[in-house]
Structure 1
Amino acid sequence: MTLECPHYPSPRASQTVCSRTFSLSIRVRFRRWNDCQNVSPPKNAVGLRGMAADRQGSWRRPGAPLMVVATSATHAASRVADTQAWFEVTNESEPPRLVKTIGQPTTRRLPLQQAHATHALTAAVISGESRSTLAAAQAMSSRLSRCNHLLQPSDHVMTDLFIGLDAGSSVCKAAVFDRTGRMIAVRSERTPLARSETGRVEADPAVAWRAACRVIAEASAAAAGEGQIAGIGIAGAMVGAWVVGHDGNPVFPGMNWEDNRAQGLIDRMTAARPDLFSEIFKISGAAMQQGCTLPLTAALLEQEPAAMERARAVVSYKDWLRFKLTGELAADSSEAAVAPGDAVTQTRSDTLIELFGLTPHADLFPRVLPSAAIAGHVTAEAAAATGLPEGLPVATGSGDVIANVIGAGGLRPGAITGLLGTTCIMGLCTDRPVFEPLDVGVLFSLPERHWFRAMVNVAGTLNLDWAADLLCPDIAMQPDLFARLTAMAESQPVGAHGVVYLPYLSESGIIAPVNDAAARASFAGLSPIHGRESLIRSVFEGVVFSIADLCDLLSAPSDAPILLTGGGGRNAIWCAMIAEVTGRQVIVPEGSEFGAKGAAFLAATALGSFATVVEASAVAATGGQTYVPRGDDAVAWRAARSRYAEARDRMLDL
C-alpha cells in the first residue's frame, strides 16, 4: 500500500524562511522483506522483521517477514528535509511499533517547527490507535487535522522528479523523469576526448564538470513547474582512471577506457605469466582491456610516481562527477567488479589487486556502495554550480552499460539488451554469473544479484561517423547527413557488391568474438567498380555482422528478442538488417536516453519510489518499434556473411 497525502503550506514556516510556502508529503510503504533482501536500506537504517498486510489492510502472519517504511518530506524554497520511520508488527493485536526514525532536518537548515511537524505526522502512522494499514491511514488523517496550527492545505500536489546524468565518452546528458518513466526534459553537451599518437585517450576534468553543471542546470530549468526534483543518479563511461588528489583536484586528465598507457606493463606481465588474461577472467568474468582501472593505476604508479604521491583516490568518470557534487568518494558494484574485480561477489578482488602489485595502495580505491543507495548530498558549492538544491540526495549510480539495461527494461533474466552507440554491446541478463564462453566478453554486475553477460565490439556507430568523415566530406556537415548515408546504403544490394568491412575501429582492439588488442578495422574485396555508396553499405553490414557474432556467443533463448538502444537503434535500416541477420525480432523501446533513465530510476529506488531496481526497470520497459525477420534475400545475406567471416578469420588468425 502507498498512501499519498496532499501537500501543505505553512504560513509560520514561510515567514521564517522566505515569502514562499513549503510543502509536506507523507508516503507509507509496506514491503515483503524477502523481496528486498538485496536492496540496501537507506544510510543508518535498520533491518526489520514484521508481518505482511493483506489487501484489506488487516494484519496477518503468512510466514513472510515484512519491511515497513514511512517516509515524509518537507520542501521549503530550495531546501529539502527527508525523514524515514522504520517500524514492525509483532502480532495481530498490536499496532505497528516504531523502531527507528531517520532524518536530517538540521543539515538542511529548516526551521524547527517544520521538522517537528514532519516527525509528528510520520509518527501518526505508528500511533497506538493504528491496528491495521487502514487504521494507520485514518490515524494519519486525524493527526493532520490536529496539526492545523502548523499546517493548512494547499491547492496542488507536487510530483517527485528524478534527474539522470549520463556522462558518456564524448557526450554528457542530463534528463529529468517522473516515476512513470516519462522524460520531461533533456539537455546534452559534447565533451570531446583528446587522443594522442601514443595511444593516450584523455578527458579534461574541468571541461567534464562544467558540461555536467550546464546540462543539469538546463534540464532542471526546463522541467520547472512539472514537479519537485527529489534526487539525482549518475551513470558514466566505465573503468578508466580519474585520479583525485588530497586537495580534491584532479592529478591527471581523466583517462578513458580506451587509453593504452598500461599496455607495456601488461605485455611484461603476460611475458612472465602467459595465462595472465585467463587468470583474471576466472575471477572477473571479463576479458580485461588495458584501459581498466587496475592496470592503469599500476602503470601510473610506475610511470608517474611523484605525481601519484599526491593521489587520494582512483575512481571512474561517474564517481568523479559524484565526488564533485557531494564531496564524498565512493564506487558502485558495477565498477568495482570490472576494475577488474570479483564477478561472483560483485565487488573488488583482493587477489587481483595483489596481482597488479597494488596491495600497498589499496586505500586508493574507495568504498563500494550499491548502485541504488544514497552516496551523499549536493554540497553548497555544487548547488551554486548546478542550480540544484543544497542537500539534494545523490544516488551512487552505475556504469553506463548497467544504467542502459535498467532504463531499457532489460533487468530480467533471459532478456537480451543491445547498445548500438559509440560502442557496440550485446548482452544477456542472468540470475547467476555465467563465465562461458571463456576468455571473451565481459560479465557485468547488475543490481540485486543479477548479471549481464555481454559481448563487446568496442566500436559501433563510431564506424559510420569515421566513414562519413573519410568518404563523404562534402556532406559531413549537413544536418541530414545520416539520412543521406542511409539512402546510399539502401541504393546498394545486400553484400555491397562484394565489399567487406571489419568494424574493429578502436585503439584497444576487440574483446569478442576473441580477445585481440591488435585487431583493427579494414576493407576487403575492393576493386575499381566500387564507389563510396558500396563502401558505406559495407560499413552498415559490417557492424551488423559483428552484432550477429556477438549474439552467437550468448546462451540466449532462441526466441528472445533484442532490446536495441543507442543512436543506431534510431536507424531503421540498421534495425531491419540486424533482424534479418540474427533471425531475432528487434524491439526499439519507446523514448530515448535509456542510460539517463536508468540512472534516474536508481535514484528513485534509493529514495523509496520503487521497492527494488527490478521493479523500476519493469516500469521503464515500454513498447516501441518492432522489426521482424522477413527472410527476404536470405541467400544473399548468407553469402555476404560468409565473405565477412572469411575476412574476419584472416584478420584474427582464427
Structure 2
Amino acid sequence: MKKYLLGIDNGGTFSKAALFDLDGNQIGVSSKQTEIITPKSGYTERDMNLLWEANYKSIKEVIENSKVDPKYIMGVSISGHGKGLYMIGEDDNPIIYNGIVSTDTRAWEYVEKWNQDGTSDKVFKKTFQSIMACQPVALLAWFKDNKPEVLEKVKWIFSVKDYVRYMLTGEAYAEYTDFSGGNLVNMITKEYDEELLSYFGIEDLIDKLPKLKYSAEICGHITKEAALKTGLLEGTPVAGGMFDIDACGIATGMVDEEQLCMIAGTWSINEYISKTPVTDKSVALNSMFCMPGYYLIEESSPTSAGNLEWVIQNMLDGYLKESEKENVSIYDVINKKVGSIEPKDSDVIFLPFLNGSNEDALGRGTFIGMTSYHTKAHLARAVYEGVVFSHMSHLNKLFKNREKPNRIRISGGAANSNEWVQIFADVIQIPIEVVEDKELGAQGAAMTAGIAVGAYESYKEAAERTVKISKTVYPRAEYKEIYERKYGAYRKVVDSLKDTWKHLAIEN
C-alpha cells in the first residue's frame, strides 16, 4: 500500500497540516487560524490552548478529507516560526502565559542596552549572531524584570513547534535549528552554555531548557490522548522537526552551497547554507541547519508579503468589492492593477515595516511621496516594490559573503503572483525559480519525518524526489537602471527616518 508523511506547520497566524506521498505530492491540507492578541503596541501573542486546538483539528480534518487510513502514515514532523517564546508550567496547570509570536517587539530596549554595553559583542563570540527583540533570550530577560511570577511557574521553555510536539507526544525536547537561532546555544560546543545565558541575566533558567535533538531524530510517539484528538494512530513516530525557514529551504531543494532561497511570506527570509559560519558580523544570523555539518546563513525580518494583508484591509477595500463583483480573488485584482503601472510611472515609496523592521527595532511602515495624482494602483505597486527592496537590503548583505548564484528560488505568498515575482527578478537582476505551489513548511517537515523513519536516506535524496520547479522568471535588462534609482531612493528614505522613529518611541 502507498505510504504517507504528515507535515505540520505553525506560522504567525495559521496552523496547517498537510499530507504528502513519498514523491512529494500533496494529498491534502487543512489550516486553522489562531487570533493574534495585541494587548499593547509591540505585543503579539496567541492563546496556547487555542493553538493546540487549531493543530489537532487541522490534523484530524486533513486525514478525514484525504480518506487516507492513518495506519499508512509513516511519520509526523513539525515546522514552526522561529524566535518568539512558548512556556509551559507543571502538568496540572500547563498554560501560564500566552505564546509570544516572532513579531513581538516588547523587549527592544534590552537589545539596545546590550548593543551599547558590549553584551552583544560577548554573545557574538559564542553564537555568531545578533540579538533580536523577538528572540527568547530578550523575552525571558523582559519577563524576569516585568513578570517574574510567570517565570517562577515555568517547567519548560519551548519554540512553537516544540510545544506542539510536546502536546502530541508528552515528551519535552528542544531542537537545534530553533534554539541555535535564538541565541540559546553555544555554536562552538553545540550545547547550552551557562556563561552565555548569564550575559542576558537568565542563567538560572538553564534547567528549564529541554534536551536538544536534531531535526530528523525521533522525539516521541503519538500518545493515546493525542490519537483521539487527531485521528493519528497511537505510537506513530514524531521527528524533531525544524525552524520553518529550514523547512522551506529544504522544500525548495536547498541542499548544497550553491542554492540561495527567498521566502516572501510574513517574514522576508533570505538564506543559504555553508559549512562555515560568517563571523564578521556582516549578517544577522548564523544557526545550525537541519543538515548536520551545515550552518544556515540568514538575513530576515517581518517585512515581506504580510504587509499586503494590512493594506488590503485598511486601504484597498474598494478592490475587495471589485473582486466580489467580478467573482475573482482580491489578489487577482491587485496583480492586474500593479501590472497596469509601469515602474517609471510610480514614484511612491513604501516602507514595509508594519510588523517590524530590518533597519531599526523602532522602524514603522509608511508611504512616502504621495500626491493627489496617485491612485490605489500606485499604492499597491509601491507595496510590491517596497517588499522587494527590503529583500534586496538583506540580499546585499549575503552577497558580501558569497558569489551571486545563477538562480534564486522563491516561495511564500508573493511567489503566487506573476507580477510580484517579475519585480523580484527585475530588481535583483537574477533569474527567479518558483517552487511548485504547495505548503512548503509542512512539506519540509514531512521530508524530515521521512528521513527519521527511513523513507529517505538523506535530505538530498528527499529533495531530489520531491522538489519541483513550476517556472523560471527572467530579469528584464531594460528595467535595471530604473530599479537601481528607485532602490537608492528607498535607502535614502529609510536612513532619513531613523531619528524620527526613536523620537516617536520616546513620546509614546
Instruction: Report the counterpart of residue 189 of structure 1 in structure 2.
Output: 32
Distance in 2 between the 1:209 and 1:612 partners?
30
Q: Tell me, yes or no, if structure 1 residue 533 matches structure 2 residue 377.
A: yes
For residue 236 of structure 1, report the CA deviation from its aligned partner: 0.7
Distance in 2 between the 1:645 and 1:441 partners?
18
For residue 206 of structure 1, report the CA deviation from its aligned partner: 1.1
Distance in 2 between the 1:496 and 1:536 partners?
13
Distance in 2 between the 1:210 and 1:361 partners?
28
Instruction: Report the counterpart of residue 307 of structure 1 in structure 2.
Output: 150
Distance in 2 between the 1:260 and 1:634 partners?
36
Q: Which residue identity is paired with 1:618?
A: E
Instruction: Report the counterpart of residue 5 of structure 1 in structure 2.
Output: none
1:246-294 Cα offsets, whole Å, 9 max, x none, are 12611101011222333344455455x1x33333333323222112112
Distance in 2 between the 1:471 and 1:347 partners?
48
Contact 1:194 1:202 in 2 (8 A): yes
CA, structure 1 residues 388+225, in 2 after alignment: closer, same or farther (shift >3 Å)?
closer
1:86-130 Cα offsets, whole Å, 9 max, x none, are xxxxxxxxxxxxxxxxxxxxxxxxxxxxxxxxxxxxxxxxxxxxx
Q: Tell me, yes or no, if structure 1 residue 588 matches structure 2 residue 434.
A: yes
Instruction: Report the counterpart of residue 505 of structure 1 in structure 2.
Output: 354
After the TM superposition, which residues 116-515 of structure 1 pair with which residues of structure 2 at under 5 Å, given as runs? 158-225=1-68, 228-247=72-91, 249-270=94-115, 273=117, 275-340=118-183, 341-436=185-280, 438=281, 440-447=283-290, 448-476=292-320, 478=324, 480-506=329-355, 508-510=356-358, 514=359
For residue 444 of structure 1, report the CA deviation from its aligned partner: 2.8
For residue 580 of structure 1, report the CA deviation from its aligned partner: 1.1
Secondary structure at the counterpart of residue 195 of structure 1: coil
After the TM superposition, which residues 31-110 of structure 1 pair with which residues of structure 2 at under 5 Å, given as runs? none
Distance in 1 between the 2:110 and 2:487 partners?
37
Distance in 2 between the 1:308 and 1:351 partners?
20
For residue 574 of structure 1, report the CA deviation from its aligned partner: 0.9
CA, structure 1 residues 345+586, in 2 after alignment: closer, same or farther (shift >3 Å)?
farther
After the TM superposition, which residues 554-569 of structure 1 pair with which residues of structure 2 at under 5 Å, given as runs? 554=398, 555-569=401-415
CA, structure 1 residues 257+623, in 2 after alignment: closer, same or farther (shift >3 Å)?
closer
Instruction: Report the counterpart of residue 141 of structure 1 in structure 2.
Output: none
Q: Which residue identity is paired with 1:167?
A: N
Pick the aligned partner of 1:634 from 458, 466, 480. 480
Secondary structure at the counterpart of residue 535 of structure 1: helix
Instruction: Report the counterpart of residue 503 of structure 2 in structure 1.
Output: none
CA, structure 1 residues 269+551, in 2 after alignment: closer, same or farther (shift >3 Å)?
closer
Q: Which residue identity is paired with 1:350?
A: E
Contact 1:496 1:538 in 2 (8 A): no
Contact 1:277 1:439 in 2 (8 A): no
For residue 651 of structure 1, report the CA deviation from its aligned partner: 2.8
Contact 1:598 1:617 in 2 (8 A): no
Contact 1:434 1:443 in 2 (8 A): yes
CA, structure 1 residues 324+404, in 2 after alignment: closer, same or farther (shift >3 Å)?
same
Q: Which residue identity is paired with 1:197?
A: K
Contact 1:409 1:619 in 2 (8 A): no
CA, structure 1 residues 590+647, in 2 after alignment: closer, same or farther (shift >3 Å)?
same
Q: Which residue identity is paired with 2:331?
A: F
Secondary structure at the counterpart of residue 59 of structure 2: helix
Contact 1:416 1:556 in 2 (8 A): no
Identity of aligned residues (%): 27
Normalising by structure 2, report the TM-score. 0.91
Secondary structure at the counterpart of residue 382 of structure 2: helix
CA, structure 1 residues 496+641, in 2 after alignment: closer, same or farther (shift >3 Å)?
farther
Contact 1:168 1:237 in 2 (8 A): yes
1:434-485 Cα offsets, whole Å, 9 max, x none, are 234x164222321211122111132211221122222212333745211111
Q: Which has the larger radius of gyration?
A: 1
CA, structure 1 residues 265+433, in 2 after alignment: closer, same or farther (shift >3 Å)?
closer
Distance in 1 between the 2:251 and 2:319 partners?
34
Instruction: Report the counterpart of residue 506 of structure 2 in structure 1.
Output: none
Instruction: Report the counterpart of residue 133 of structure 1 in structure 2.
Output: none
Distance in 1 between the 2:320 and 2:189 partners?
47
Pick the aligned partner of 1:603 from 449, 459, 467. 449
Task: Work out the number of aligned pairs and report it.
Answer: 488
- By relative contact order (CA 8 Å, sep 6+), the higher-ranking structure is 2
Secondary structure at the counterpart of residue 497 of structure 2: helix
Distance in 2 between the 1:344 and 1:614 partners?
25
Secondary structure at the counterpart of residue 474 of structure 1: helix
CA, structure 1 residues 483+194, in 2 after alignment: closer, same or farther (shift >3 Å)?
same
Distance in 2 between the 1:169 and 1:355 partners?
29
Q: Which residue identity is paired with 2:481?
A: V
CA, structure 1 residues 531+278, in 2 after alignment: closer, same or farther (shift >3 Å)?
farther
Secondary structure at the counterpart of residue 280 of structure 1: helix
1:56-99 Cα offsets, whole Å, 9 max, x none, are xxxxxxxxxxxxxxxxxxxxxxxxxxxxxxxxxxxxxxxxxxxx
